[in-house]
Structure 1
Amino acid sequence: MDKVMRLASEKGVVIFSKSSCCLCYAVNILFQEIGVSPVVHEIDQDPDGREMEKALMRLGCTAPVPAVFIGGTLVGSTNEVMSLHLKGQLIPKLKPHQQQTMS
């Protein structure tokens, strides 16, 4: 649990993912299209991956991946992220973490 919380707090937007998960890929692409480059931790490639997966479930993830953290706070998995986006509530949460683009 400590490792998950430490990693989740290291950057503004953190996604715990599995390299073979298409929903993880879709969420990652959504953030990139919004202008946010999340830190992605592939838990299937981490020696502590199974423990990390259990910790994510204990934190309240309905599915262990993708687990999205914004500002160190668990937002949820695909359903929660997409629901926030459709309600227009995701982009305001991401404003502090968007890349500055040159015009």
Structure 2
Amino acid sequence: MGNSMCATTELPNIETTNQIQQTISDNCVVIFSKTTCSYCNMAKKLFEDMNVNYTAIELDMYENGNQFQDILHRMTGGRTVPRIFINGTFVGGATDTQRLHREGKLLPLVHQCLIQRGQNLEQPCSLP
């Protein structure tokens, strides 16, 4: 009986995990964010200033946003937002992303993803 209880609570986690992984694999830049988070806004502004499109998943707009955060915690070792993925790889939060940008490593990561996806760099979602 205990196993069936576990199975019913795990099913939504599997579906949510698959949704998170699909979003990460389908997009070059994914920011798991909250609309009220200043660090999240700082990270989004960084990509906007570089003219790089990103997909923002605003966890406070989802009924199961806490479940998203729990799964992201298991995936990345941290529960705080933002959780930023580039080219399928977790790169960190806002300060980690800013550090990558200062070191000249952020744009090459995005550029590598665009090349792998065969996107024309002159399209609006590309780099300047």
Q: TM-score range by the shorter chain?
A: 0.7 to 0.9
What do the CA deviations read for 1:48-101 (whole angstroms, capped 9, x no partner)? 211100111111253431111111221111122112112111111122445265
- Map residues 1-103 of structure 1 onto 2, 5 A cutoff: 1-95=17-111, 96-97=113-114, 99=126
Q: Give yes or no for contact 2:30–2:55 (8 Å, CA) kept in 1.
A: yes
Give the stretch that moved more between structures: 5-14 or 37-46.
5-14
Q: What is the number of residues matched between the two proteins? A: 101
Which of 62-71 and 48-57 deviates more?
62-71
CA 1:82–1:61: 2 relative to 1, 3 Å: farther
Which of structure 1's runs of 4+ aligned residues deviate more than 4 A? none
Greater C-alpha Rg: 2
Paired amino acid for 2:21: M
Q: What CA distance in whole angstroms lies between the structure 2 residues aligned with 1:100 and 1:12?
A: 12
Q: What percentage of residue pairs aligned between the two structures are identical?
A: 30
Q: Which has the higher contact order (CA 8 A, sep 6+)?
A: 1
Unaligned runs of 5+ in 2: 1-16, 115-124
> Is the 2:27–2:55 contact (alpha carbons within 8 Å) kept by the matching residues of 1?
yes
Deviation at 1:2, TM superposition (A): 2.1
SS at match of 2:26: coil
How far 1:10 moved relative to its partner?
2.0
Q: Give the root-mean-square deviation of aligned CA atoms.
A: 1.7
